[in-house]
């Protein structure tokens, strides 16, 4: 079996396509033949060692988390998934390795792929949509009439967040790059600003929730934009931001891992067309190393980058 892997933490130069042996499928696990895998910024952050306290020092490590594919084997205690099912999901980041021909993972981390979605579209969903769900519905509690601000509304997380907020009746304001303004890059956003238009969007006391997908909005700045009971939601915590946030009970963190229980609901919303994954580039697995390196170091296309097997 082939996969993208690395033998030490570091930049794109550490990645190579190498051989690996699939582990035996345990009682609660499934084996999936991967048809498409989507790239997340999280993948290169892991490879760079951003979470090495958790991911440890055993190498080689497989790269990639989000995938869609076909089940080839199920453990004896798996009841909801059978061989031949088309599924999508996310590999536990502590064992990541979805940029691979096949993966063995916990059956709780996969759900059936909606038939309306291609493998590539389904692979775009897990981390980005789970993070958006936790941020917008669990933390910001978007509801009819609430006013939500999303910094980075054209990115994968930001765009799913805007779609979820709109689906719950919220009014969405967001920022994105100049080229994205007024285009289809920001579906679900009622009012779109450029990043530089702070004097226009950063008015005091305007929003029920501010969701910073990029980590570029100061915590104080975000808090000042809130109504008295509003919340600032962060998905790029740094020690400085957490410290600053601890001074306010209205600063909340959101992580993709908290969203795994919502994967089935996400599949349903995507099947109905409420959540619309957008592919910016679909490339063959043979181009994986250059495609990942380009996404990491250069300008990214609008929409997710998907590796097809
Ligand atoms: N806490 C968690 O569990 C969690 C989960 C998922 C993601 N995250 C983090 O959240 C952030 C957003 O993730 P995402 O998947 O939404 O990312 P993404 O799809 O790449 O989009 C993020 C934004 O980055 C801008 N962008 C485009 N090219 C860029 C480049 N070369 N460098 C920097 N920004 C660029 C885009 O805006 P414009 O093109 O409009 O400028 C876009 O709005 C990342 O830092 C990621 O690590 C955290």
Q: What is the CATH number of the domain that holds 98?
A: 3.90.180.10
* Pairing verdict, β 15-19 and 2-6: antiparallel
Considering the domain architecture, whether residues 131 and 249 belong to the same structural domain is answered as: yes
Residue to mutate (ligand 1; options 44, 45, 90, 214; most atoms within 8 A of CB) = 214
Q: Does 265 reside within a domain?
A: no
Q: Whose CA is nearest to atom 28 of ligand 1?
A: 300
The percentage of residues in the chain with a pLDDT greater than 90, rounded to a whole number, is 83
The confidence score (pLDDT) of residue 88 equals 98
In this structure, what token pair is assigned to residue 283? Answer: 């490339």
The tally of domains found in the chain comes to 2
Q: Does 264 reside within a domain?
A: no
CA distances from 266 to 14, 66, 223, 224 (A): 34, 14, 29, 32
Cα 155 to ligand 1 centroid, rounded to whole Å: 5
What is the helix (H) or strand (E) element at residue 284, kind and residue range?
A: strand 279-284
Considering the domain architecture, whether residues 136 and 217 belong to the same structural domain is answered as: yes
Q: Does 263 reside within a domain?
A: no
Q: Of 79, 139, 101, which Cα lies nearest the Cα of 21? A: 101
Q: Are 206 and 188 in contact (CB under 8 A)?
A: no
Cα 153 to ligand 1 centroid, rounded to whole Å: 9
In this structure, what token pair is assigned to residue 305? Answer: 């980058």
**Domain that includes residue 198, residue range:** 127-255
Q: Does 67 reside within a domain?
A: yes
Considering the domain architecture, whether residues 204 and 134 belong to the same structural domain is answered as: yes
Spell out which residues line ligand 1, taking CB within 6 angstroms: 40-42, 45, 127-128, 131, 152, 154-158, 176-177, 180, 213-214, 235-236, 255-256, 299-300
Considering the domain architecture, whether residues 120 and 6 belong to the same structural domain is answered as: yes
Considering the domain architecture, whether residues 251 and 226 belong to the same structural domain is answered as: yes
Considering the domain architecture, whether residues 165 and 284 belong to the same structural domain is answered as: no
| pLDDT surpassing 70 at residue 182 | no
**Average pLDDT of the segment spanning 269-287:** 97
With bands split at pLDDT 50, 70 and 90, how would you rate the model's confidence at 250?
Answer: very high
> pTM of the prediction?
0.95
Cα 41 to ligand 1 centroid, rounded to whole Å: 7
Q: What is the CATH number of the domain that holds 155?
A: 3.40.50.720
Considering the domain architecture, whether residues 217 and 283 belong to the same structural domain is answered as: no
With bands split at pLDDT 50, 70 and 90, how would you rate the model's confidence at 181?
Answer: low
Considering the domain architecture, whether residues 34 and 73 belong to the same structural domain is answered as: yes
């Amino acid at each position: 079996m082939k996969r993208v892997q690395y033998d030490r933490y570091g930049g794109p130069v550490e990645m190579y396509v190498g051989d690996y042996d699939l582990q035996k499928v345990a009682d609660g696990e499934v084996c999936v033949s991967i048809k498409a895998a989507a790239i997340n910024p999280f993948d290169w952050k892991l490879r760079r060692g951003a979470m090495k306290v958790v991911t440890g020092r055993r190498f080689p490590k497989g790269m990639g988390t989000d995938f869609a594919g076909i089940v080839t084997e199920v453990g004896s205690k798996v009841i909801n998934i059978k061989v031949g099912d088309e599924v999508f999901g996310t590999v536990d980041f502590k064992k990541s390795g979805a940029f691979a021909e096949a993966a063995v993972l916990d059956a709780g981390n996969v759900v059936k792929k909606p038939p309306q979605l291609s493998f590539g579209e389904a692979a775009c969903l897990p981390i980005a949509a789970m993070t958006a769900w936790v941020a917008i519905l669990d933390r910001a509690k978007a509801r009819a009439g609430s006013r939500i601000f999303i910094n980075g509304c054209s990115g994968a997380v930001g765009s799913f967040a805007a779609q979820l907020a709109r689906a719950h009746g919220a009014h969405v304001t967001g920022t994105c790059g100049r080229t994205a303004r007024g285009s289809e890059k920001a579906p679900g956003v009622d009012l779109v600003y450029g990043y530089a238009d702070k004097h226009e969007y950063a008015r005091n006391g305007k929003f029920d929730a501010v969701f910073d997908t990029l980590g570029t909005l100061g915590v104080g700045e975000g808090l000042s934009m809130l109504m008295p009971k509003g919340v600032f939601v962060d998905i790029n915590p740094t020690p400085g931001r957490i410290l600053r946030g601890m001074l306010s009970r209205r600063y909340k963190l959101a992580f993709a891992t908290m969203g795994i229980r919502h994967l089935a609901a996400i599949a349903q919303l995507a099947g109905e067309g409420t959540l619309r994954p957008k592919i910016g580039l679909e490339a063959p697995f043979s181009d994986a190393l250059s495609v990942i390196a380009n996404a990491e170091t250069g300008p990214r296309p609008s929409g997710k980058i998907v590796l097809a097997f």
